[in-house]
Structure formats: structure tokens, C-alpha cells
């Protein structure tokens, strides 16, 4: 007497469906993580510009004038009253790796600080939008 046993298993189609579903889930999670990083960097850039604007104001308070460039916050320009350094060189680069622009005069005040956003180019929207301070 022969006993036939039938082994159960997954077909190739079933395995392919599971692989596609796992790939979709991984893509969704990766997209959310990347957006969270970009959002965090954008918010960090906003805070960084606020802080740097305060350091420019402190420079002006100590020396009686605005700096000619942001580098004068790091290295003494030889002005009387300079009590710096007010900033470190790494603080002059935004979280996206682009140097922060310093404009004097600014569009709405005596000076303006600009981060070009995630794309490093003027304009843009969402996380690529420019961030301006004051």
C-alpha cells in the first residue's frame, strides 16, 4: 500500500505578489522618512537664520555698524568694539550645505539673510523655497 503525501507550499505567483507588496511598503516608508528629513532641515534653517540675525545685531551693537560680510562674525575685521567671534564658520552654511547669503541692505530692513532651501537655487516651493530673515 502506497501513501501519497501532498506537500503544501507557495506558488511562484504568490511569492511574487508578496515581494511586490513588501517593495511598495518599503517605498512608502522611505518616502515618508525622506520628507521628514527635508522638513527637519527646513525648520533647522529657519532657526539658524533667526540665530544668525541675532549675532549680526550683536555685532552692530558692539561695533556701531553692520558687518560687511558674515565672515566678520567669525574673524575680527579690526573694528573697535569687536568682541567676537560671534559665530563659527560652520554656522554660515545652511543645513542643505549651501552658504547663507548676507545682503546689505535687505529688502525689508538694513540687512537680510537668505537660505536657498533644499534645492540650493533661488525661488522654489515647499522645502525648496527660499528662507529669508529678517
CATH of the domain at 67: 3.30.700.10
Average pLDDT, stretch 60-71? Answer: 95
DSSP secondary structure string for all residues of 45-74: HHHHHHHHHHHHHHHHHHHSS--SSGGGGT
* Within a domain: 7: no
Instruction: Answer whether 110's CB lies under 8 Å from 66's CB.
Output: yes
pLDDT band, residue 112 (cuts 50/70/90): very high
DSSP letter for 100, please: P
Residue 70, pLDDT score: 96
pLDDT at 123 over 90: no
* Within a domain: 9: no
pLDDT at 80 over 70: yes
d(CA 11, CA 42): 47
* Within a domain: 8: no
* Within a domain: 39: yes
Burial status of residue 90 (CB atoms within 10 A of its CB: 0-12, 13-18, 19 or more): exposed
Residue count of the chain, please give it. Answer: 134
Average pLDDT, stretch 12-18? Answer: 87
Number of domains present in the structure of the chain: 1
Q: Comparing C-alpha atoms, which of 100, 110, 88, 86 is closest to residue 45?
A: 100
Task: Say what percent of the chain tops pLDDT 70.
Answer: 94
Bridge partners of 113, per DSSP, are: 102, 133
* Within a domain: 16: no
* Within a domain: 6: no
DSSP letter for 65, please: S
pLDDT at 57 over 90: yes
* Within a domain: 17: no
Question: Residue 24 is placed in which grid cell?
Answer: 511598495
pLDDT at 64 over 80: yes
pLDDT at 18 over 80: yes
Domain region containing 59: 34-133
* Within a domain: 105: yes
Amino acid at each position: 500500500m502506497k501513501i501519497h503525501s501532498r506537500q503544501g507550499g507557495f506558488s511562484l505567483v504568490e511569492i511574487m505578489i508578496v515581494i511586490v507588496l513588501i517593495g511598495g511598503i518599503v517605498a512608502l516608508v522611505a518616502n515618508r522618512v525622506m520628507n521628514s528629513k527635508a522638513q527637519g532641515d527646513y525648520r533647522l534653517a529657519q532657526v539658524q537664520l533667526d540665530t544668525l540675525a541675532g549675532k549680526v545685531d550683536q555685532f552692530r551693537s558692539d561695533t556701531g555698524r553692520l558687518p560687511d560680510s558674515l565672515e566678520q562674525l567669525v574673524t575680527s575685521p579690526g573694528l573697535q568694539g569687536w568682541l567676537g567671534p560671534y559665530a563659527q564658520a560652520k554656522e554660515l552654511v545652511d543645513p542643505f550645505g549651501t552658504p547663507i547669503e548676507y545682503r546689505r541692505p535687505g529688502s525689508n530692513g538694513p540687512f537680510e539673510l537668505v537660505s536657498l532651501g533644499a534645492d540650493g537655487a533661488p525661488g522654489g516651493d515647499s522645502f525648496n523655497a527660499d528662507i529669508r530673515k529678517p
